[in-house]
Structure 1
Amino acid sequence: MAGSDDFGGDDSWREGLNLLCDGLATEARLNDIGVEIAVLDIIRPMVSRLQITKWRKENPAVAAQQISRPIFIVGQPRTGTTILFDLLAQDPELRPPLTWEVDNPHPLPRSETYATDPRIAETQASIEMSEQIVPGLLAFHPMGALHGQECVRITAGQFCSMIFSVQYRLPTYYRWLLYDADHRPAYRYHRTFLQHLQSGVPGQWLLKSPAHLWQLDALVAEYPDALIVQNHRDPLNVISSISALTHHLRRLASDDSSITDCAGQSCEEIVVGLERGMKLRDSEALAGHRIVDVQFADFVRDPFATIRALYAELGRELSPVAEQNMRAFLAAHPGDGGGGRYTWDDTGLDAGAVREQVREYQQRFGVPDEPLK
């Protein structure tokens, strides 16, 4: 399938793979379709890793390519990171990794066929199949072959990625990921993956994943000149929203999922992530590293004022073409405000207790309480 059995000299990915496979077999409560999905979710990144390793050895100059001033959008999930990412991706001066090329990175994407590659249709068909299995999934979390893809889909190739612990019930794996895993090899592989893609279609990288908030030190160690944007929102509404999304995703592969189970994991991850993020921003590892903060409330109130201010902070100019593209995208994707897809009561968590856990974060960054949905 990959034309190679060489995974490269670093075999640290095997630890995560072993834990993942154990969890899928003993904890994930997979249904028959879930087993098929899980097998594909393991095989796809392994094949990509083999193909990238082979191409890199055949084309050693790729390893010397620079990745300059990549922009990373981080922050808690469900804080507007996706729509901000999608809007900035309309800037022709920025280069997001698209879903189709992340899922199928070989052969290399090419500028002349970047919008017509047959892998686009294949990827889109797979996404639409997910919507058929769990109707409403794409309304909850818009996806598409031509949409920018999150970095967790890239670090899946190291099997050290939050994508697995969100999509599947994996309590042992997610606690390893949260507390014990060494994420530095995942960021090295992330760089390898970006070098591979940009050897076909170059550009200044625009990247996004809430998972980076948990590992800011590993991120800046690999990308010392990274430009980091952190979104902020009331963590309680974040927890209820991500719990419902996690439940929706897990229903693709399991008939036995509950929002309360998802909420327990989401709450632990969010609280740990916010605490760790604050400590890292005060640490020597990030000393002198500037991070631009974006308030969710400001973005919702006036997205283009927020984007102009962000561009000024990043030392960029918002060109008329970029703004026009962004406005067209926003008009075509207005969102539905979340509707009634989740409520705090669904989580089964004590709002007062969780509020106390996140109060320091809210005070530090001036994040207001929101009415609980």
Structure 2
Amino acid sequence: MKRQLSIGLAVVLLVAIVIVIVRGSGDDDPAVADGKTTVRGVIGSEKLAFFQDKRVIDAFAKHGLTVQVDAAGSRQIATSVDLGKYDFAFPASAPAAQKIQQDKKITTVYTPFHSPMAVATFTPISDLLTKQGVVRQGPGEYEVLDLAKYLELTANGTRWDQIPGNSAYPARKNVLLTTTDPRNSNSAAMYLSAVSFVANGNNVVSTPAAESAVLPAMSKLFLDQGYAQNSSEGPFEDYLSAGMGKSPMVVIYESQFLDRQTRGDGSIQAGMRLLYPSPTVLSKHTLIPLKGAGDQVGKLLTSDPELAKLAAELGFRTNDPKYFREVVGDRAPADLIDVVEPPSFETLERMLDAIGKQYG
């Protein structure tokens, strides 16, 4: 009797072990539902529309994937988000991606698309600043915002109503680009990368001495704006809905403007203009596969023609430029010449932290 009981217990234990093995007990095992593998990622908020697009969802489904995403700021993804819950991280900047790579000791990354920083404005503002030499024609059929000239205006604390002959926008407030909150948002960090380059004698800030030298002027660019929103969607929506009175010049991703133009939903109206800062910085959307099927998502985004075309339709510049050109045509320059690299993650973080501490 005891021997039969022992055999029975052994069988039960063996079955339990088999069940554990089949089901898997580790977080690396992907969940499977409806025959598809569920992959979880944390992404920059500017890509949320892409991953929520039904066509993108269907494209991943063709490859047996259900991709679920949470949105966070790129700085947060690199520093405070618990990445253990995710199969991939997809920040909007190369410095943030490099930080994750270093921390997780991961060498494989995918950069399926990118977007330059741009400035959304209006024809009266562009025309006014053209007369001041701040806006000029670029090498292609696009307008350039000269950051060096812009910094001259901000250094002097110039108000809009102090610009000679300004009857188009005589507002009693300083000439300033509207940005997101530098304590949270990647677009603000990319803007800081460009203006700090100019303020540092057209060199990437790379030393503590250079940081200290440029910080007073850089801090004013953010603090003098007053309240700033956490996500780039916020000021861009204000630009679209509230118009020139509230937001005459807004720092955005080029992809945001082009996405709305491509939709043809009427949100981009006559008189709305897109300027390209000189220099500008590319927001390089970099996917870091953390585990499971995260690597498959990165591979598909960089190799699948359907996903590349969908990325272009949502305003992103793809690795193969033909998709972007097919969708955008002559609404955006094919090539941007005056592009600079951002500082290292550590340098950028120190500057952002120093500015953030000055907020009340």
The verdict on a shared fold, with TM-score over 0.5 as the criterion, is no
| TM-score normalised by structure 2 residue count | 0.26
Higher-Rg member (1/2): 2
Greater share of helix residues, 1 or 2?
1
Structure whose residues are more often strand by fraction: 2
